[in-house]
Chain A
Amino acid sequence: MNLNTIQKAQAAIKAACDKVGRRIHVMEVCGTHTVSIFRSGVRSILPEGVKLLSGPGCPVCVTDQGYIDVVIELADRDDCLIATYGDMIRVPGQDGSLESRQARARIVLSADDALQLARANPDKTVVFVAVGFETTTPATAVVVQDAARQGIKNFCVLCAHKLVVPAMQTLLSARNDRIDAFLCPGHVSVIIGYEAYAPVVDQYKRPCVVAGFEPAGIMEAMAEICEQVARGKPELKSMYQAVVTARGNAKAQALVAECFDVTDAYWRGIGKIEQSGLELKPRYEAFDAFKRFGITEIPGQCNTGCRCGEVLCGLIDPKDCGLFGRACTPQSPVGPCMVSSEGACAAWYKYGS
């Protein structure tokens, strides 16, 4: 840990904030950043003049209520076995969560584990709950192709994969004019390349700086962002140069393009964002759980008083939600931001603000 780097970054941030003369709002759009920032105490060493907002970067948190209800509905069928990443297991739908249906839901660590589950359970249809951004999508593409090649018929994918950049643009265009800049995700950028954020910089004149996950790297990126805001010259920059390139991982992008079409998608708390999600191409429709079971995702209504949507847009802090820490805790979560280990509410609750 280079404490010197951190002190330098602190000084640079403070100088930039003093120059700007108002609070700078920076949104991180990556759940892993959210966790790293809280766990390492980055917030507590940031100068007063800058505030971090946790954006829609946690895949579980942005997954629409209607999709969760579809998953629960499938879990209640005798002929289905749900394969899901761990964080999804406790997200409450209108009729409970997968946690109380564990005989019909298995936690997997990778998409390939889901396919293996299908091989091991030939009498069930394994439905893979495919959520996540550009980082998890290539793995889903690989297993769909594997399943097709190997003729595995009892496997399908309930696709809710999403794209980060359209969400960032939507936030700026309609939702939140407080956002001065984005701390861009490390893992997603490995796949899409940092040039993917160019529209945000060009159209909305907001700095986009990619950072790694070490606290020193995050602090350096914050300093770069604040200096750009102070100069009034938004730029595109990667501070995670060892692994993030301008164009990203072409092979992964090709895999995704081969399997998926871009489509409109529902985001919890934000609503429909055009061209922000992925669906399986017609040639893979045999593996599309929506088509196989004839399901249409109906956008969910949230009547619980949960304000996850506003939290995701950076409009309020978790503590501003009336349920936070009272009706909504990690033991009995009401909204997804409290369920996921990468959710903003869970991080506030777990690590203190």
Chain B
Amino acid sequence: MKHDKILMAHGGGGQLTDSLIHDHILSRLGNEALSPLGDSALLSVGREKICFSTDSFVVKPLFFNGGDIGKLAVCGTVNDLAVAGAMPMALSLALIMEEGLEIAVLDRVLESIAATAKACGVSVVTGDTKTVEKGAADKLFINTAGIGLYPSGLNLGMDQIKAGDRILISGTIGDHGMTIMSEREEIRFQSPLASDCAPLNGLIQGLLDQCPGIRFMRDPTRGGVAATLNEISRATGLNVAIQEDAVPVTLTVRAAADMLGFDVLNIANEGKVVIVVDQAEAGACLKACQDHALGRQASIIGQVVKADSAPVVELVTKIGGKRIVQMPYGRELPRIC
């Protein structure tokens, strides 16, 4: 169906986002660096290759358990560079502020940006500020862009993925999305939810050093693990088969998702990476992941297999049943009873 107006679901990371990008953006702006739609664009500068990426942040509330919009803005771009294989070097920072935003709030966000950038080993080297009249934005929106050096000899990409490769996730899923949802709806749980928002460049650098068999990585943000696995399946023409009981989920996230009617596979993460790795190196990659503080609960959740017909993502459930994992539609809606 053709939509004549932008719907919230166009920003949800699912099928409508996909059609927005392909039908409206790529059809006009597509080029060699943009069209692969990687987390970062790969550019050649002289003999070096650099990755370039950008991301905008409009999270509500601005502060949440486990993070805030500032930390998210740094981690988001750093992670997009890191999963592409690059070593993040420098960031830009653009602030769009609503008239009336308290300076104390802005300062708190900037402190968080400074601390997170320091932890990632990157600097904010350029920026911009804009203010808009009250009502034209919701308190504070942030855009960051970043560049990183792409090591010579590295060759990551979906085109490297082969049947038999194993799929790893670096830890529990759904933490970020469920935290934001429950804070927005003011739903409290006995053991509190916390966002997993974290910079992944340290973890990923270690993995790349130790595991040359890594084929591809992506941080499963909008649309969650379901979107990432569907992107892999669609791009490679191969099936992705995952085991439900191998997917790490905290009890609180599970309970919150069940209560609100969400599928945890569709929920956004902000500090996790999906790794596709050569079968022979899967064990070593898992161990390397688990040796890092951000990868303790890493798990091999499935594998890439040859598709007999149209490629799908298939889940073997805890009771041994099978079901398809679809590309999320977009915005997940809470169920009503």
Contact = CB atoms under 8 A, between A and B. Distances in A.
B324 A351 contact: yes
Contacts of B130: none
Interface stretch (B68-76, B171-179, B269-277, B315-323): B315-323
Interface stretch (A37-45, A74-82, A194-202, A261-269): A37-45
Range, interface on chain B:
20 to 34
A208 B319 CA distance: 24
A6 interface: yes
Given A60-B336, A85-B334, A107-B334, A99 B7 contact: yes
Contacts of A330: 15, 329
Contacts of A86: 333-336
A245 interface: no
Interface in B80-106: none
B8 interface: yes
A216 B260 CA distance: 21
Given A31-B337, A86-B333, A132-B336, A44 B185 contact: no
Contacts of A44: 321-323
A216 B319 contact: yes
Interface of B: 1, 5, 7-8, 15-16, 185, 187, 260-261, 263, 312, 315-324, 326, 329-330, 332-337
Contacts of B326: 349-351
A297 B261 CA distance: 30
Contacts of A351: 323-324, 326
A109 B334 contact: yes
Given A102-B8, A331-B1, A341-B261, A40 B319 contact: yes
Chain A binding site: helix, strand, loop or mixed by DSSP?
helix
A100 B1 contact: no
Contacts of B336: 59-60, 85-88, 131-132, 136, 340, 342
Interface string A28-63: 000110010011111111000000000000011000
16 contacts: A3-B319, A6-B319, A32-B335, A32-B337, A35-B261, A39-B263, A41-B322, A87-B333, A88-B336, A89-B333, A100-B7, A109-B260, A136-B337, A219-B319, A350-B324, A351-B324
B320 A41 contact: yes
A352 to B, nearest CB: 3
Nearest to B336: A85
Contact of A215 (B315, B318, B333): B318
A301 interface: no
B324 A352 contact: yes
A332 B337 CA distance: 23
A1 interface: yes
Interface string A207-223: 00000000110010000
Tell me which of B185, B260, B336 has the highest count of chain A C-beta atoms within 10 A of its own C-beta: B336
B331 to A, nearest CB: 9
Nearest to A99: B7
A135 interface: yes
A324 interface: no
A134 to B, nearest CB: 9
Contact of B5 (A40, A100, A132): A100
Nearest to A85: B336
